[in-house]
Amino acid sequence: MTDTIVALATPDSQSALGVIRISGKKALEISEKACGNPAPPPRYVHLTKYKSAQNETLDQIIMVYYEKGKSFTSENCLELTCHGNPVLIKEILNDLLKRGCRLANPGEFTYRAFTNGKIDLTQAEAIADLIGAKSKQALMLANKNLDGNLTNKIRQIQSQILVQQSNIEAFIDFPEDDLGDEKNRQVITSLCDISSELTGLIEFGKKINVFNRDLKVVLIGPPNVGKSSIFNRIIGMDRSIVNHEAGTTRDFIDYKINLGMVTVRLYDTAGIRKAEQQIEEEGIKKTHLLIQDADLVLIILDRSLPYPSGVDLEIALDIKNKKSILVLNKSDLPKNIDMSESNFRHLRTTVVSTNEKESISSLTGLIQNLLLEEYKTENEFNLSVNLRQSSALLKAQNAIQKSLETLEVGNANEFSVPDLKEAISCLNSIVDTKDNEDMLDLLFSSFCIGK
């Protein structure tokens, strides 16, 4: 039925081996004509020679045949493992094109698996996540969804909604049957439960999002307390200019580093004080914006100086509800600071010296721990939720809330049904998809070629 697609599944560079995948009608023909095996038993490893259409041997290869219905794409598939020379691989690919295959589009193998019903949408996304995972945690989460855990959860919630809908429908369509009293209270209670279950999934999605994006860590403090020095020590190079004159850093400077399981974007900012120059005032404004957006704020103070008056209230307002660490710098100098009157005195506090390597590494350890703090709990759902799925969950939850409103203000029950159906269909869009061609294009084109 379908044309035959081919792609290199491994990176296009010199390596020990290269894997070429073929999916479609011509797979068996290629096995016969190029690999000399007209009827390969499926799922066995065959050591053979790859011969071009001109009958010259191109390479000694390993070939595996997967039969229709049982392969990844559900079509006849071949996997050729050849030697990892880009020139050789190009020769083989060209030969395959000559034999009637065509180069696969990005994600086309997975797209075929999806349209052939081998995997659903959450599983297709899980494959994209597996390939793109930047941390071990992300890998583990992607694997859960590949198992269908999210799909199962969604199906389960859908059927719970359906039960409540049928409780309502029964009393509409069978008004004279002996059904007992209408179960409005029970319906409301169940819908509330469903709503909070959805909220739970959405919140969980937000939490695990830390593994899929750069986390923002912002260094703030009064001028000249050593923010830039600490910044440079953490990233391990001199990126920020350090000077004794207060107000050296006028704009912010950022740098991306890997800290264990997460990727962090670290920001060095202008010192917060009453600005003396206009350019500096601009910098301070930007700092406030950064703080609003931050995942973690490091407040740096100079431990060797008396507590700076005048600035802390302003910052304290900004960091309300933010994760933050109070960093007292210059621990190698005598202590002069008195925190007893400070708004920051209850913050988690650490003491560092830019001259002591160990104190910096314990600071980075602390940053990591704090960023992952809420994730330390068990993965209560045993699944993963990405942004697309999260937004569909949110829509479903809104619909449930609307139907609850209808029931609670005492409007007739039938008015709550369209929202219940809406919720079911939102959940459906997570697993399967209806009239959303753009989303599918976007989803599958994010794959690398060969998947």
Q: Does 21 bind another protein (CB under 8 A)?
A: no
Q: Could you say which residues in the range 61-80 bind another protein, by CB under 8 A? A: none
Enclosing H/E stretch for 66: strand 57-66
Q: Does 175 bind another protein (CB under 8 A)?
A: yes
Nearer to another protein, 64 or 126 (CB): 126
357 burial level (CB within 10 Å; 0-12, 13-18, 19+): exposed
Reduce the DSSP state of residue 91 to 3 states and report it.
Answer: helix
- Total residues in contact with another protein, by rule CB under 8 A: 32
Enclosing H/E stretch for 94: helix 86-98
Binds another protein (CB under 8 A): choice among 361, 373, 414, 446 = 414
Stretch that binds another protein, among 39-47, 77-85, 176-184, 329-337 (CB under 8 A): 176-184
Binds another protein (CB under 8 A): choice among 41, 176, 245, 378 = 176
Question: Which residues face 103 on adjacent strands?
Answer: 6
Nearest distance, CB of residue 253 and another protein, angstroms: 47
- Asked if 279 and 250 touch (Cβ cutoff 8 Å), the reply is yes
Binds another protein (CB under 8 A): choice among 39, 178, 358, 378 = 178
What's the full length of the chain, in residues? Answer: 451
Phi and psi angles of residue 96, each rounded to the nearest 5 degrees, phi first:
-65, -35
For residue 104, give the DSSP letter: P
CB neighbours of 173 closer than 8 A, spacing ≥ 6? none
Nearer to another protein, 148 or 260 (CB): 148
Q: Does 413 bind another protein (CB under 8 A)?
A: yes
In angstroms, rounded to a whole number, what is the distance separating the alpha carbons of residues 300 and 249? Answer: 14
Give the residue ranges of DSSP H helices in 249-376. Answer: 278-293, 312-319, 357-371
Binds another protein (CB under 8 A): choice among 46, 83, 144, 421 = 421
Q: Does 309 bind another protein (CB under 8 A)?
A: no
Nearest distance, CB of residue 120 and another protein, angstroms: 10
In angstroms, rounded to a whole number, what is the distance separating the alpha carbons of residues 268 and 216? Answer: 11
Binds another protein (CB under 8 A): choice among 90, 200, 418, 445 = 418
- The β-bridge relationship of strands 77-83 and 5-8 is unpaired
Q: Does 174 bind another protein (CB under 8 A)?
A: yes
SS3 content of the chain, % helix, strand, coil (to 5): 45, 15, 40
Q: Does 434 bind another protein (CB under 8 A)?
A: yes
Site string for another protein, 1-20 (x = CB under 8 A): xxx-----------------
Q: Does 115 bind another protein (CB under 8 A)?
A: yes
Binds another protein (CB under 8 A): choice among 341, 358, 378, 437 = 437
Nearest distance, CB of residue 375 and another protein, angstroms: 34
In angstroms, rounded to a whole number, what is the distance separating the alpha carbons of residues 229 and 235? Answer: 10
In angstroms, rounded to a whole number, what is the distance separating the alpha carbons of residues 240 and 315? Answer: 22
Q: Does 159 bind another protein (CB under 8 A)?
A: no
In angstroms, rounded to a whole number, what is the distance separating the alpha carbons of residues 316 and 144? Answer: 41
Binds another protein (CB under 8 A): choice among 41, 47, 87, 117 = 117
Nearer to another protein, 202 or 404 (CB): 404
Interface residues with another protein (CB under 8 A)? 1-3, 112, 114-117, 169, 172-178, 406, 411-415, 417-418, 421, 428, 432-435, 437, 440
